[in-house]
Structure 1
Amino acid sequence: MHVIIGGAYNGKRQYVVEQLGNCRYTIYEGELPAKSFSKEEYVIISNFEKIVLSYKNYDELEIAEKILEQLKELQQQTNVICICRDIGRGIVPIEKEQRFIRDACGRVYQRLFNEADTVTRIWYGLPEVIKKEM
C-alpha cells in the first residue's frame, strides 16, 4: 500500500496520476470500493474525511480499525494508493464535528502509515519519501 500525504491543493493527486502513467486506475472519492479488482489495476482512495463521517456512530479507534481492515482486504486483491489530506497542523477546530473528523482521520492515518509499504509527503508539488520498505 502506498500512502500520499500533504496539504490541500499541494499536488497529491497530480503526483499519483503522473507516477501511474498509462496504468489502469480508478479513483474513489470519499468511499471505500466494494467490488473486486484485478492485480493489474490501481485503486486510489481519497477524501478520508468523508469516509470517517460514514462511521460517526463509532469511536476513533473503532473507525481506524474498520477502515484499515477494509483496506487490507482490498490490498490483497489489487494495488492500493491512499491520498490523505493533512488537516491537523495543531489547530483544534471549534465545531465538535470538525474535531471528530480531525481526530478520527489522525487515528486512521497513524494506522495507514504503519501498514503502508511506502509513504510519500507532497509539499507544493515536491515529493519526499518518508517511508520505504523493501
Structure 2
Amino acid sequence: MILIVGGSYQGKTEYARQNFPNAKYFNNLHTFIKKRLEDLKSQDEILAEIKDVISEGQWIIISDEIGNGVVPYDAFDRQWREVTGRILISLAREATEVHKVVCGIGQRIK
C-alpha cells in the first residue's frame, strides 16, 4: 500500500495516476472517515474496514492532510481531525511508501 497525503486541491489524485497508473485507488480517505464517524463507528472499526478493503492488490490511499491549521471549534470536527490523523499514522507505518504532494509536486517521505 502506498499513502499519498497533502492539502486540499494540491494535485494528489493526478500525481497518483501519473506515478501509479495500474494501482487501485482509495481516494478521499478523510471523507470516508468522517462518514464513518457520523455513523458512530470507532477509530478501530474504521481502521479495520479500511484494511479489509485494501487487503488484496496494490492500493494507493489518498487523503487530505486536515491536521494543519486552526483547531476546529466544533467537537465533532476536532474528533474527525484527530481520528483521521491517528489512522493516517497507522497506515503510514504499514505503507511501503508515503508521498506528500504540494502544488502538484510529490515528494516521497518514506
* Range class of TM-score, shorter chain: 0.7 to 0.9
Identity %: 28
Distance (Å, rounded) in 2 between the aligned partners of 1:48 and 1:76 = 16
Distance (Å, rounded) in 2 between the aligned partners of 1:14 and 1:3 = 14
Match status 1:105 vs 2:105: no
Distance (Å, rounded) in 1 between the aligned partners of 2:104 and 2:73 = 30
**C-alpha distance 75-52 of structure 1, shift in aligned 2 (>3 A):** closer
Q: Match of 1:12?
A: 12
Alignment of 1:57-68 (within 5 A): 57-58=40-41, 62-63=42-43, 65-68=44-47
Alignment of 1:33-52 (within 5 A): 42-52=23-33
TM-score (norm 2): 0.84
Distance (Å, rounded) in 2 between the aligned partners of 1:11 and 1:99 = 25
Q: RCO (CA 8 Å, sep 6+): is it higher in 1 or 2?
A: 2
TM-score (norm 1): 0.71
Q: Match of 1:81?
A: 60
> Is this contact kept in 1: 2:5–2:65, CA < 8 A?
yes
Select which of 41, 52, 55 maps to 2:36. Answer: 55
Deviations 1:52-99 (A, max 9, x none): 2333224xxx41x33333343344421111001011114200112211
Q: Is the strand fraction higher in 1 or 2?
A: 1
Distance (Å, rounded) in 1 between the aligned partners of 2:12 and 2:60 = 11
Which 4+ stretches in 1 moved above 3 angstroms?
Answer: 70-76
